[in-house]
Structure 1
Amino acid sequence: MISLKKLMPKKQRTRNNIAIALSLIPALCLYTLFVIYPTFDVFKTSLFQWSGLSPTKTFVGFDNFIRLFNDPKFWLALKNTLFLLVVCTIITMFLSLFFAAALTQTKLKEKNFYRVLFFFPNVLSIVVIGVLFSNIYEPNTGILNSLLRGIGLDNLAKPWLGSGSTVLWAIAIAMVWQAVGYYMVMYMAGMDGISPELYEAADIDGAGKATQFFKITIPMIWSIIRVTMVFFITSTLNMSFLFVNVMTDGGPNSQSEVLLTYMYRQAFTNSNFGYAMAIAVIIFVIAFTLAIISNLLTKNKGA
């Protein structure tokens, strides 16, 4: 079959290509100005000792990175960040897929209601959600401890955000609650596009719901799952900063500090902008590396 493009006169094709290029130039200029240039500037600034306000910058080479790798608070923040990345990704993906399958492959009359209910947390501000869960976890008047005391489990009541052993789990639960509905809707959009005939044929062959889920549903929406894996990484990095700032401010004793909050503290509290940019470079490398690993590990898995 001959494409319409080949039938088009050469001059017309040239004019169309020029028009497309001219249309892309404004977007490319804005992307360069607000994304590419700041990214390169971060790498450059990480090589300097700079307060962020002073006009004087002192070139120190890789001293900021050497200092960083000898900083125990950096390693603690890195460990906390990786914990949230792993825990939030696994739990959010599992719950999102489960609820999406339950709402698309069952005959619930209240499907639309549950879609709105699960997606509702995404309408709320992160600050609102952080304050809400802070009140839930409040040691004396919070709903969680009040419920535990009400059913006679007083020994389980504790300062959830004030204990190093529970603070990260408490933050992770809030982050999962906020994210599940968003990814559920994405998975439901993919599942709605699967032909019902595939499930009917599987029913005839005697395949159960679990078998249909892993043999039909997952492979058919695998491309969406691959994309959301990258979303999980970037959103968890960004959301951890907001949730930690609102709920704990890095406490208790920096036990909930994550890389972005540590970077922010170095830049705007300690006026150590060059050191903060070194942390930003590490965050960029981690996010980029995890995204590549995720794509490589999930490549063709759904085929």
Structure 2
Amino acid sequence: MRHGKRLFIATFLVPPLALYALFVISPYVQAFQISTTDWGGLSPEYHVVGLANFTRLLHDHYVWNALRNNAILLAVLPVVTIVLGLFFASMLSVGGRRDRAGVRGVRGAPLYRLVYFFPQVLSVSIIGVLWKEMYAPDSGLVNGALRAVGLGGLARPWLGDPALAYWCVVAVMVWSNVGFYVVLFGAGMQAVPRDIYEAALLDGAGRATTLLRITVPLLWDTVQVAWVYLAIVALDGFALVQIITDGGPGLRTDVIGLRLYSTAFGDAKFGYASAIGVAMLFLTLSIAVLALRATRRERVEL
């Protein structure tokens, strides 16, 4: 009987584990091997160069420029997205006026949730093309709206201005991610007993105090996971940057993911690009571990 049970479990576990090893683990292992070569990606010929690619990384100003942009994104994207997500979710869940039915969200909350979540049903390529056209100097919706309300003097070549292009991309990334966390945090708030919020209102707590002293501590585990996930998104950022600006103008919006792609497919240096990928892997893991440790706190039980 026990042998049959083990055979039954193995029958269901072995095929998916084999596929995972083949399509997920195997490419990682190959990337480590390729990172020690000078392979160009097209020819089967290559030479083993050891750690030379990693030594080169330390002196590559293009890589350091991309990392600097990722660092700014890492500092801005998680904070802004989580703050906006908590604020909107709080308003939609418990931000309405208290009535006989108790604490409730603002009027029209289901419609607002749909609007906030809408970017999640769009692919990243559609989002990138959409916002690239919206930022267009002459035909874009952003400048068109400014001119329509008499603020034409504020119209700019948004993606062509080195001082603005990066922040335009950051705004798109926040817009495309915040809706998911509105729904995620809102689902967490629905599990919080309404008696707690009603007691806080009776004690005279305002909305800001309720959010900071009640909602955030009770949702801290969810906030912690959200921060780690957004940190990983900030360390990548490849797709939107590649579609909207392709790293320009003057590499002001370049990120490490785009630098890897350009090195591999633009410069035909797959060995060096693999070294960038390996370094990016360890950097991402390190930041995820540090984030989990830095945000660790005692769990609040209801």
Q: What's the TM-score, normalizing by structure 1?
A: 0.89
1:272 corresponds, among 269, 273, 277, to 269
Shift of 1:146: 3.3
In structure 2, the partner of 1:250 is 247
Aligned pairs for 1:116-135 within 5 A: 116-135=114-133
1:32 corresponds, among 17, 21, 45, to 21
> Are the equivalent residues in 2 in contact too, given 1:263–1:280 (CA < 8 A)?
yes
Report whether the alignment pairs 1:231 with 2:220. Answer: no
| Separation of aligned partners in 2, 1:66 and 1:98 | 45
> Are the equivalent residues in 2 in contact too, given 1:84–1:168 (CA < 8 A)?
no
* Alignment gaps of 5+ in structure 2: 97-104
Report whether the alignment pairs 1:259 with 2:248. Answer: no
In structure 1, the partner of 2:35 is 46
Aligned pairs for 1:141-290 within 5 A: 141-151=139-149, 153-238=151-236, 240-290=237-287
> Are the equivalent residues in 2 in contact too, given 1:171–1:244 (CA < 8 A)?
yes
> Are the equivalent residues in 2 in contact too, given 1:119–1:181 (CA < 8 A)?
yes
In structure 1, the partner of 2:78 is 89
* Alignment gaps of 5+ in structure 1: 1-10
| Separation of aligned partners in 2, 1:19 and 1:215 | 49
Report whether the alignment pairs 1:296 with 2:293. Answer: yes
| Separation of aligned partners in 2, 1:237 and 1:293 | 14
Shift of 1:149: 4.1
| Separation of aligned partners in 1, 2:214 and 2:11 | 44
Report whether the alignment pairs 1:78 with 2:64. Answer: no
> Are the equivalent residues in 2 in contact too, given 1:100–1:187 (CA < 8 A)?
yes
| Separation of aligned partners in 2, 1:34 and 1:230 | 24
Shift of 1:79: 0.9
Shift of 1:205: 2.9
- More moved, 137-146 vs 274-283: 137-146
In structure 2, the partner of 1:64 is 53
Secondary structure in 2 matching 1:70: coil
Report the identity percentage.
Answer: 39
Shift of 1:15: 5.1
| Separation of aligned partners in 2, 1:60 and 1:291 | 30
In structure 2, the partner of 1:136 is 134
- More moved, 27-36 vs 90-99: 27-36
| Separation of aligned partners in 2, 1:194 and 1:18 | 43
Shift of 1:42: 1.1
- More moved, 106-115 vs 88-97: 106-115
Shift of 1:145: 2.6
2:249 is matched by which residue type in structure 1? P
1:214 is matched by which residue type in structure 2? L
| Separation of aligned partners in 1, 2:151 and 2:203 | 49
Shift of 1:155: 4.6
| Separation of aligned partners in 2, 1:43 and 1:250 | 26
1:257 is matched by which residue type in structure 2? D
Shift of 1:286: 1.5
| Separation of aligned partners in 2, 1:103 and 1:17 | 49
CA RMSD, aligned part only?
Answer: 1.9
Secondary structure in 1 matching 2:156: coil
> Are the equivalent residues in 2 in contact too, given 1:218–1:302 (CA < 8 A)?
no
Length, aligned pairs only: 291
| Separation of aligned partners in 2, 1:212 and 1:19 | 51
2:230 is matched by which residue type in structure 1? F
In structure 2, the partner of 1:101 is 90
Shift of 1:141: 2.8
| Separation of aligned partners in 2, 1:116 and 1:299 | 32
